[in-house]
Amino acid sequence: MACILAPSLLAADFLHLGDDIDLINQSDAHWLHIDIMDGLFVPNISFGQTLLPFIRERSEKPLDVHLMIEEPSRYISQFAELGANVLTIHYEAERHVHRVIHAIKEKGMKAGLAINPHTSVDLLDDILEDVDLVLLMSVNPGFGGQKFIYQTIPKIRKLKTKAIERNLSFHIEIDGGVGLHNAEAILDAGADVLVAGSSVFSSDDPKATIEKFLAICSSFHSQ
C-alpha cells in the first residue's frame, strides 16, 4: 500500500451521515477518521460514544478514532467495545502515556499517539518503540477546515529520520489542512497516512477527490 488515506467524518453532512459513509465505503480510501472532542482538551464538542455504534454498523472501513479528550485512559475499553481499530490519544492530554498505549494494544487496537503543532517530536523519543502510529497535528486541533501549518513538514522529516535510524515502522499520520495541493510534500517528508476532511467532503466531487489523492500516493511511491 502506497499510503493510507483516511477521510475525516467531521467534515461530512451530519444530516446524511449514512450517505457519506457509503461514499467512503464505495471508494478506495483505506480508513475512516473519527474525531472525538470533549470541549476541554479542545474548544469544541463533536460527537461521542452514542454515535459510534451507528458508524461502526455502516462503515466497511477500519475506524481510525482520534480522541481529543482529557484523560483518555477513562475510555479505552469503551472504544474497543465500540469497534475502533486504531485508537489515538494525545500526548498532551494524558499523564501516563506508556500505560495507556499498552492498554490500547492489549484491547487489540493499533495504538496511536498524537501531538499538537507546538509539541516537539523529540518528546516522543522514549515511547516510539511502543506506538503503532504517531499523529502530527498540522492545525491546532478542534476544528476542520483550517490552514495547514507548514512547520509540520520539518517535524515529519525529523520523525521519519528517527524511525529509520531506529528501524521502527510506526505510521506517521498527518491531520489538519491536508489537501491535493500539499499531499505530495507531506508524503515526500515521510508521512504515510493522510487525514482529509474538508478537502474531500467539501469538494464538488468527493469520490473524484479521493481518486486524485490515491493517484498522488501511488505516483509518489513509484518515483
Is 3 among the residues that bind ligand DX5 (CB under 6 A)? Answer: no
Q: How far is CA 144 from CA 15, 37, 54, 82, 140, in A?
A: 17, 12, 22, 24, 10
Cα(52)–Cα(197) distance, integer angstroms? 18
Give the shortest CB-147-to-ligand DX5 separation in angstroms: 9
Q: How far is CA 206 from CA 7, 42, 202, in A?
A: 10, 27, 7
Rank residues 100 and 135 by Cβ distance to ligand DX5 and give the closer one.
135
Active site residue 175: yes
Is 190 among the residues that bind ligand DX5 (CB under 6 A)? Answer: no
**To 10 degrees, the CA torsion angle through 56, 59, 63, 69?**
-60
Say which of 35, 64, 132, 192 is annotated catalytic.
35
Is 175 among the residues that bind ligand DX5 (CB under 6 A)? Answer: yes
Residue at 128: amino acid letter: L
Is 10 among the residues that bind ligand DX5 (CB under 6 A)? Answer: yes
Say which of 64, 132, 175, 192 is annotated catalytic.
175
- 206-222 and 17-25 are packed helices; what angle lies between their axes, rounded to 10 degrees? 30
203 binds, among Zn ion, ligand DX5, none (CB under 5 to 8 A by kind): none
Rank residues 199 and 209 by Cβ distance to ligand DX5 and give the closer one.
199
142 binds, among ligand DX5, Zn ion, none (CB under 5 to 8 A by kind): ligand DX5
Q: How big is the CA angle at 120 (ends 95 and 114), to the nearest 5 degrees? A: 55
Active site residue 35: yes
Is 72 among the residues that bind ligand DX5 (CB under 6 A)? Answer: no
Rank residues 85 and 198 by Cβ distance to ligand DX5 and give the closer one.
198
The footprint of Zn ion (CB under 5 A) covers 35, 66, 175
Say if CB 65 and CB 32 are below 8 A apart.
no
Residue at 90: amino acid letter: H
Q: Catalytic site residues?
A: 35, 175
